[in-house]
Each structure stands twice: as C-alpha cells, then as structure tokens.
Structure 1
Amino acid sequence: MSGPRRIVCLTEEPTETLYLLGESARIVGISGFTVRPAAARREKPKVSAFTSAKIDAILALKPDMAIGFSDIQADIAAELVRRGVEVWIANHRSVAEIIDYVRRLGALVGATARAAALADGFEHRLAAIADMAAALPRRPRVYFEEWDEPIITGIRWVSELIGIAGGDDVFPEHAREPLAKGRILADNDEVVRRAPDIILGSWCGKRFRPERVVARGGWSAIPAVRDGELHEIKSPIILQPGPAALTDGVDAIAAIIRRWAQRG
C-alpha cells in the first residue's frame, strides 16, 4: 500500500471520494457531518466538525495524514501540524477544481488510474446534463441562497452547476468570491431587482424555510415567489465540493429547472 495508510477526513468530500475509489480502509476518522456514504457513519469514528475538531481523539488514531477543506479549517490544520500530523487542506472552488481534486486524491493514495476513470465519469455525466439542458425551451434566472441570516449567495461550483443544469445564476459576480463573507448580500432588495424565476435554498446544515423567504419585505414581487418556485437542495449534496455535488446535487437542480422550463 503506497501513500498515507491512516487518514483522518476532516470534511465529507475526501471520505466519499476514498470510498468511491475503494480506499476506505485507509480512513480512520471522519467528520461528524458526514452522511455519504452511509457506511462511513457506521464504520468510522467521528472526530471533527467543520470549524472544530477533537484534536486528542485524532491523535489517538495515530494518523499519518489529515485531509480538510478551506481557510475555515486553518486553525484545526495548524494545531495538527504543531502536533506532528501531516495535513492537506484543499481549497477547490470550481467544478473543474473538484474534478482535479478527485484525481489528486487518487494519486495521493496510489489509485491514479481509478481516480482518472472516476473523474472522467463525472465530466461525461456533466456534459450529458449540459446537452439535455441545451434542448430546453427556455432558461430560468436562478437565485441560490446558502444562508439566511445574513443572506449569503451561492459559491462558485454551485453557480457553475446551475449553468450546466440549464439556468443562469443571478449573482455570478458573487460566486467568484472564495470566502462566505464576500458573498454576503448587503441589500436584500437586490434579489427583488434581479427577479429570479427559481429560488434554491440550502442553508448549510439547517432546514430551508420557504415561508420565511416569502415573508421578506418586497419579495412577493419576485417571479419565483409569485409562482411558488422555492425549492430546497439538501446541503450534503450541494455544499461539499466533492462527488455529491457532481451527482445528486446537480441532478436535483436539473430536475427543478427541467420542470420549470417545460411548464411553459
């Protein structure tokens, strides 16, 4: 076995990817937020959240690598490094970068060929979704809300998946902001002005409440509100930059857009 043999996954996407690659035996600890695959929750100890981790519990597992995501886990990573653990914090934010992440993680564990096949499969299915979307009679304007208080708009890979699925993100300029604070909406009325046809909510770990969105001042004028086009996309399938977003996440978005476009 080449590469790290005892891996702690601080977020969901390395866990799901390693399972898909047939390398789950390397995983000795996972994030408590992990839901994919279901087997991981049964088989692996939960030693981290997203912004915090049980450092002593991680060290007790004697990992030779910890894998996490983004600046939000910088403090966890720094503490593990100080305690002698090798850490890889990925910072992928686009669809292309997610696919490259799969290839890089596969190479790290000596599964280069399997990872290439998995990544190629993701590219092919996204291309097929884009082809189907191109045949739709119309494209909706889509507003994606990642958090409600304060309102945070969608991250880059979500915006790109909306485009692949046949819609147009109403805040494409926000999607390029890598940090959540850069995607905070300063003026809620801007959503009203951009008049989305569809509103997608994924409130990062809590249930999306359409009735709260509808009750916002002035939002009754939004086409999506007028037509009842408010939909939840469960956060585990869209807000982790890994296989889930490229499969169940984009499929959920595409189904909503397809129904809207064909309703005509």
Structure 2
Amino acid sequence: MQKRIKWGQLGAAITLSLALMTACGTNEEEVNENNQANDNDEVTNETENNNDEIENAADEENEAANEEVTGGEFPITLTDKVDREVTIDEEPETIVSLLPSNTEIVFELGAGDRLIGVSDFCNYPPEAEDIQNVGGQDMDPELILSLEPDMALVQRYHYENHSEILDQYEQSGIDVLVIEGGESFDEAYDTIKMLGSATGTSSRADEIVVEMKDALAEIEEKAEEISEEDRKTVWVEISPSPNIFTAGQGTFMHEMLEVIQATNAAEDQEGWVSLTEEEIVMLSPDVIITTHGVAEDPIDEVVSRDGWSDIPAVQDERIHDVDNDTVIRPGPRLIEGVETLAKLVYPEIFE
C-alpha cells in the first residue's frame, strides 16, 4: 500500500506554526520599540510575560497539530479473532465495518467520521444510518472495493464463508481485521482495545474500558444489598413462539443476570438454546424479559400463551420488553443494558 500522507492536516499545522512565529516576531518588535521609548521595568516584565504566554500557546497548538497528523503507534501487528497476524502500516483514514458492535465501538472511539461503509444492521448511533450500506453477512464486494477503504472490519462468518473475497480486499491493499465482541465482558473489553490499537485511538479505548468496569462495579456493589431470599429468577426470551430461544451460560445475558444477583431460569443450559413452552412453564420465573421485539405487542403475546397464566411473572405482571441491542451487542452500551435489567428486576433497589 502506498504511504498515505495527510497533506491537509500537515499543511494546516505548518500554516499555524508560521502564523505563530510571525505573531511572536511582531510582538518582539513592539517590545523593543516600547523599551526604547520608555525604560519602565513594569512594562518590560508585563511584555515578557505576554510573550511567554504566546510561546506556550504556540507550543500547545503545535503539539496538538502534530498529534493529529501522526496519530497512534504504527506500524502495528495485531492477532485478530481467528488468530491471524495482521500488520497495519499506517493509521487508517477510511474504514468499512460489517458488524454493528464494531461500528458502535468505532464511533465511541471518536473515529466514526472515518467510516465510509457499514452493514445492514448498523443502526447506532443514528449517524451510522447515514453511511453507505455495504451489505451484511452477504457483503457487496464490488461496492466495498470501489470505496477503497484502508481497513475492513469483518466477522468470523465472513472469514469462514467468504475467504476468497477477503483475499481480494487484501490484494487491493485493504487491511482486513476479523474482529468480534465475544460472549463476555472481558471479550468485549479486548475487542474495544484491539479496535483502539487498529485505529490509533488506544488511549480512548483504555478510557472506555475503565469507564465500563467502574460502572459495572458500582452496579455489583449495589446488588449486594439483595438477600438470597429476595433473589429473582428471570426468564430471558431472545425469540418468540413457536421457536423460543433463550440465553444460557456463556452469554452476555447470563453474565448480566449474575452481576445484578438474579438467577437465570436457563442457567442449566449452555449458549443460545431453544426450549418448548411447556419446559419454560416448569421453570416458573419471577420475571420475564423479552428482547426480540418481533411481535407488535410482545408482552401481550407472552400473556396469551396457553398454560402460562400460572407463571409468577405473568400473575404479577412482571413482563418487560427491552432493546436487544443493549443486552446482546458487545459494545459500550452493555452497561446501559445491565442498568436496565437491574431496574426492571429489582426496582426497589435500583430505581
């Protein structure tokens, strides 16, 4: 890949430096004239202080300009989610993201203005919906190649099913990074840091991870007030009837419920699993959380199911529908998802 020089930013930095040098020179001439006209120590000291402030301001603005030009530490070699070593020679100026969680993270890193292509499902932040759509699991390779991005953020599905297309990207000089958020907070933190390294925004990535960990710790500390006898059993419904899926161990949802001191009704299951309506009734959950948003009224759909009227959550009207993006999508908004669950399951503690 040819070296990409940010001439616009470099030119602005040079122009700024020349302007500041000229300004400093003009101030010095004025000081000399004043000294010749009036040998006043107080005036001289005040002028020297003003010059020091101007020089300090110039240094700070030059440093800021240099940081904008040079970015992070490059070249850098990263091991992506399929254990490939990817060397990124220069900070990417243009990026295509084919996974909503990665798009959210890139925006949170302050690099959203570099995105020139996103997937069908990239709907947050709202600005993402104004960016060119380049497909989802089924990419539009011709469109992506025509955009000539510096970097493509893809998922494992693309690597396993469209490796020849990814090879085309790399042959065209596009850095391809296979990167997914995983199914735990720790994996999400790792993804945020990796994207920070890949985009030259490592400092901001570290800040985001610290903020998320601190917020999660606060929720955990508050949840310690919940006694074992007050602990609620929660049924989480990812997809509606007739093919009802839920989240067992090894998922974000299970970890979130553990954080707020709730029991996952499907804790004996692993990963994303399907259960029958009869099996769910036997679990007798205290609270039901739906995240699919498929039905026009998901709560009414649950209440109307045969045999569900005896479930405590139905009897007590403790059925809630939440935005699935905040509880499934591995990004900074996971904390928002945990807070929402905490308030719905234990309103007396978290409201």
State TM-score, norm by structure 1. Answer: 0.85
Deviations, residues 92-111 of structure 1 (Å, cap 9, x unaligned): 11121112211111112122
- Other-structure match for 1:20: 108
Distance 1:233 1:170 in 2: 17
Distance 2:345 2:134 in 1: 38
Distance 1:261 1:219 in 2: 28
Deviations, residues 22-64 of structure 1 (Å, cap 9, x unaligned): 112321111232222112223x212223x33323222221123
Instruction: Kindly provide the amino acid, as one letter, of the partner of residue 106 in structure 2.
Output: L
- Other-structure match for 1:80: 165
Instruction: Kindly provide the amino acid, as one letter, of the partner of residue 109 in structure 1.
Output: T
- Other-structure match for 2:117: 29
Pick closer, same or farther for the CA change 1:259–1:171 going to 2, 3 Å: same
- Other-structure match for 1:240: 329
- Other-structure match for 2:259: 164
Instruction: Kindly provide the amino acid, as one letter, of the partner of residue 257 in structure 2.
Output: I
- Other-structure match for 1:117: 207
Tell me, yes or no, if the aligned pair for 2:181 and 2:188 is still in contact at 8 Å.
no
Instruction: Kindly provide the amino acid, as one letter, of the partner of residue 92 in structure 1.
Output: G
Alignment of 1:135-154 (within 5 A): 135-137=225-227, 138-148=230-240, 149-154=242-247
Distance 2:235 2:321 in 1: 12
Of the candidates 219, 231, 238, which is equivalent to residue 308 of structure 2?
Answer: 219
User: Match of 1:147, SS?
Assistant: coil
- Other-structure match for 2:143: 57
Distance 1:115 1:255 in 2: 28
Tell me, yes or no, if the aligned pair for 2:238 and 2:246 is still in contact at 8 Å.
yes
Deviations, residues 51-88 of structure 1 (Å, cap 9, x unaligned): 333232222211233223454x5566535314224241
Distance 1:199 1:221 in 2: 13
User: Match of 1:56, SS?
Assistant: helix
Alignment of 1:197-216 (within 5 A): 197-203=286-292, 209-216=298-305
* Percent of paired sites with the same residue: 26
Pick closer, same or farther for the CA change 1:35–1:92 going to 2, 3 Å: same
Mean Cα deviation higher: 104-113 or 52-61? 52-61
Tell me, yes or no, if the aligned pair for 1:53 and 1:76 is still in contact at 8 Å.
no
User: Match of 1:129, SS?
Assistant: helix
- Other-structure match for 1:126: 216
User: Match of 1:90, SS?
Assistant: coil
User: Match of 1:241, SS?
Assistant: coil
Mean Cα deviation higher: 12-21 or 131-140? 131-140
Q: Number of residue pairs matched?
A: 253
Pick closer, same or farther for the CA change 1:208–1:173 going to 2, 3 Å: farther
Distance 1:164 1:21 in 2: 26
Mapped pair 1:97 → 2:190: no
User: Match of 2:328, SS?
Assistant: coil
Of the candidates 123, 134, 153, which is equivalent to residue 67 of structure 1?
Answer: 153
- Other-structure match for 2:80: none
* Unaligned stretches of 5+ residues in structure 2: 1-70, 72-89, 171-175
Mapped pair 1:230 → 2:316: no
Distance 2:186 2:128 in 1: 26
TM-superposed CA distance for 1:112, in Å, is 1.6
Tell me, yes or no, if the aligned pair for 1:80 and 1:87 is still in contact at 8 Å.
no
Tell me, yes or no, if the aligned pair for 2:238 and 2:292 is still in contact at 8 Å.
yes
Pick closer, same or farther for the CA change 1:108–1:262 going to 2, 3 Å: closer
Tell me, yes or no, if the aligned pair for 2:181 and 2:330 is still in contact at 8 Å.
no
Instruction: Kindly provide the amino acid, as one letter, of the partner of residue 78 in structure 1.
Output: S
Tell me, yes or no, if the aligned pair for 1:7 and 1:26 is still in contact at 8 Å.
yes
TM-superposed CA distance for 1:141, in Å, is 0.5
Tell me, yes or no, if the aligned pair for 2:343 and 2:349 is still in contact at 8 Å.
no
Mean Cα deviation higher: 118-127 or 162-171? 162-171
Distance 2:129 2:180 in 1: 22
Pick closer, same or farther for the CA change 1:24–1:205 going to 2, 3 Å: farther
Distance 1:74 1:207 in 2: 36
Pick closer, same or farther for the CA change 1:262–1:12 going to 2, 3 Å: closer
TM-superposed CA distance for 1:124, in Å, is 0.6
Larger radius of gyration: 2
